[in-house]
Amino acid sequence: MNTFTRTAFFLILLCFQWANACYSQALSAKVKRIVFLGNSITYAGNYINDIEAYFISHFPEKHLEFINVGLPSETVSGLSEVGHAGGKFPRPDLHERLERVLAQTKPDLVFTCYGMNDGIYMPFDNSRFTKFKEGINWMHTMIVKSGARCIHLTPPVYDEFKGKSIGYAEVLDQYSNWLLSLRSEKKWEVIDIHYPMKKYLEAHRKVDSIFNLKGFALADDGVHPGETGHWIMARKILAYLGCKGAVASPGISESLAADANGIQILKLVEQRQLMMKHAWLTATKYIRPDIPEGLPLKEALEKYVEIEHEILALQ
């Protein structure tokens, strides 16, 4: 099966899978500043870059600001396994920094993506599950109290074929199921990225078995998705926000193809996001070693404006 045929097959499959899963809630005109909270997957930021570049290319009149304050290793449950990071430090706890983040970033909308670390890579345990649920409820209350709209993401898929924690995929299934139940139970906004990623992974593995191929993965280590996984995340968020055109695109490059300068815009977005996430993390403070120190926020914001002028010139 050549690359084109394979891509077409999965595009058709995923369109059918996702056609019935869109709880579209377009952005209000009042939304100007969007904050992303999460762990290392959010910190990596590929899906945020994709979303920002898409909005710039397709909705240049909106002038949205996307702020990434994801922190590697972090949990919302407050849990940490014994000997985490070789005993160097316990996992960061969102409880320690959320109030500062909300006060300084002043978001209109917050996306949250937790769960991957919250079961601390062990088999399902009800006490750990309870801590996760308590943390999610606390976080939601804090965000809403700040005046921001809150949208939760289910945790990305865990790949036991590539990872080392047997049974952990089922843990994240249960965490995802609970979050999804809050749509009806509490009328919360919850976007499912978990099951679309899981179905995509399983479908590719099934085709690989037919053609005697091995090794397909969304995340080489079972945890941290590559560009394809991040695009699945971005595409689900974009579809939820009413960007129907994104659903038919197999990748960010294709979604920007109609814009002659789309890829250049994406590169500028990546450059700016890398600078700003470290500036915001440094400004809002956190407890975790091995994160690069960011520029002073005032200096970073000046450079933000400079890059904004470069982007506007491309538009």
Q: What is the mean pLDDT of each run of 10 residues along the chain (315 residues)?
A: 45 44 71 98 98 97 97 98 96 98 98 98 98 98 98 98 96 98 98 98 90 86 98 98 94 96 98 98 98 98 98 94
Structural domains of the chain, ranges and CATH numbers in brackets: 29-314 (3.40.50.1110)
Tell me the C-alpha distance between 94 and 74, whole Å: 7
**For position 15, what pLDDT does the model report?**
47
Nearest to 276 by CA among 103, 45, 50: 45
For the stretch 120-158, pLDDT in tens is 999 999 999 999 999 999 999 999 999 999 999 999 999
**For position 6, what pLDDT does the model report?**
46
**For position 213, what pLDDT does the model report?**
75
Which value, in Å, is the radius of gyration of the alpha carbons in the chain?
Answer: 19
**For position 23, what pLDDT does the model report?**
52
List all residues 6 or more positions away from 263 whose beta carbon is below 8 Å from its beta carbon: 253, 256
Nearest to 246 by CA among 236, 299, 114, 62: 236
Please tell me the pTM assigned to this model: 0.92
Nearest to 36 by CA among 118, 94, 96, 84: 94
Angle at 68 between CA 62 and CA 73, to 5 degrees: 155
